[in-house]
Structure 1
Amino acid sequence: MATELEKLKAGDWYCFTNEEVAARKARAAKLCQEFNAISATEPEKQTAKMEEILGSYGDNLSVQANFNCDYGKNIHVGHDFLSNYNLIILDIAPVNIGNHVMIGPNVGIYTVNHPMTAAGRRQYLAKASPVNIGNDVWIGGSVTILPGVTIGNNVVIGAGAVVTKDIADNTVVAGVPAKPIKSLKAE
């Protein structure tokens, strides 16, 4: 029989109160608390702590406090990554972010979901689906990205959008739920 952590990694329903699962979250919470306590006047220290949190990262990493995540090691960012204040990434499943990505303030990227049934929620069940974000993406302030979404290259997501479905390359989306409103020229 699979452990809860094995179920989580396989994308199956797992119990999020399980000791192994909770330990991953506790580690991430501690590291995020340490990152958020570093003064903005010490960007080198902030970057070093962020490098400890993330699974992988490219050159020119810039993350503003506050930052919170569920695991950290499932977050992979490319070169020239910039995030503004109050980024939340619930990285139960992998979150892959390309090069030259800018994220506005108060953005949430979520990979975890819960059952639609009360009985399933009472069992503390969750299921995770990865989020993939391409290159040259600008995510506006207060955007929410839901589990399982893939965002293409050269995409702009308008402030306040809720991204529930995949977004094609060279597209501007906005709204709740986010819908295409304009095409961009490929560069």
Structure 2
Amino acid sequence: MMTEFEKMINGEHFNSLDLDLRLKREAARLACAKYNAHPSKGNLRHITRLFAQSELVVIEPGFQCDYGSQIYLGKGVYINFQCVLLDSAPIHIGDQVLIGPAAHLYTVDHPRDAAARASGECFARPIHIGNRVWIGGGAKVLPGMTIGDDAIIAANAVVTRNVAQGERYLG
């Protein structure tokens, strides 16, 4: 029988209230808290060691993630202050991507049925962000979205559809 974590990483419905998942989120919160309390290159390792991939990244304080294990960061990614990456499914971010302050990337979603939501049932869809993308401050990227290379996402935009290469998305 598959664990809830295995269901989650395999793209199946999973129970977010599962003890193992709650402990994994707590470990990620503690790693983020260590860095956010005392931001330094040395303390950044508390966050980046959670990630599936990261190379030459800058992450400003206030960063939060669910697990970290499904975050893939390309070279030269800059994540500004107070960003949130909910990584119940993979988040792939290409090279030289700029993410503005308080931007949020959500892979997790919840059933529309109230009883299913109350039970803790969730599902997640991956987010793919191409190279040299600029995501403005306060933008929200919803589950399952793909943003093409060189695209610009306006500040405070809510990305509800895929964004083509080079497109300026105003939300």
Asked if TM exceeds 0.5, the reply is yes
The letter for the 2-side match of 1:68 is Q
Matched with 1:73 is 69
Tell me the CA shift for residue 162 of structure 1: 0.1
* Superposition CA RMSD, Å: 1.2
Q: Secondary structure at the match of 1:119?
A: helix
Letter in 2 for 1:51: T
- The answer to whether 1:48 aligns with 2:45 is yes
How far 1:158 moved relative to its partner?
0.5
The one-letter code matched in structure 2 to 1:9 is I
Task: Give the Cα–Cα distance (whole angstroms) in 1 for the partners of residues 4 and 50 of structure 2.
Answer: 23
- Percent sequence identity is 35
Distance 1:6 1:49 in 2: 24
CA contact (8 A) 1:38 1:45 kept: no
Larger radius of gyration: 1
| Contact kept? 2:28, 2:47, Cα under 8 Å | no
> How many residues get paired?
171
Q: What CA distance in whole angstroms lies between the structure 2 residues aligned with 1:15 and 1:124?
A: 5
> Please, which runs of 5 or more residues in structure 1 have no aligned partner?
179-187
Aligned positions of 1:164-175 closer than 5 A: 164-174=160-170
- Gaps (5+ residues) in structure 2? none
| Alpha-carbon distance in 1 for matches of 2:54, 2:115 | 39
- SS for the counterpart of 2:61 is coil
TM normalised by structure 2 equals 0.95
How far apart are 1:2 and its partner, in Å? 3.1
Separation in 2, partners of 1:148, 1:141: 20
Partner of 2:35: 35
* TM-score, scaled to structure 1: 0.87
Which one-letter code corresponds to 1:5 in the other structure? F
Q: Distance in 1 between matches of 2:143 and 2:36?
A: 25
Deviation string 1:57-92 (CA, Å, 9 cap, x unpaired) is 122x11101000000111111111111100000001
Q: Which residue number corresponds to residue 57 of structure 1?
A: 54
- 8 A Cα contact 2:87 2:106, kept in partner: yes
Q: Which has the higher contact order (CA 8 A, sep 6+)?
A: 2
1:72-122 Cα deviation digits (max 9, x unpaired): 111111111111100000001110000000011010000000010111112
Q: Deviations over 1:5-59 (max 9, x none)?
A: 22212212111111121121111111011111114xxx32243333223221122
Q: Is contact 2:60–2:82 with CA below 8 Å preserved after alignment? A: yes
Amino acid at match of 1:27: A
> Match for 1:124: what amino acid?
G
Q: Do the aligned residues in 2 keep the contact of 1:32 with 1:53 (CA within 8 Å)?
A: no
Structure 1 distance, partners of 2:76, 2:24, is 27
Distance in 2 (CA, whole Å) between partners of 1:9 and 1:57 is: 19
- Structure 1 equivalent of residue 110 of structure 2: 114
Moved over 4 A (4+): none
Match for residue 126 of structure 1 among 122, 128, 136: 122
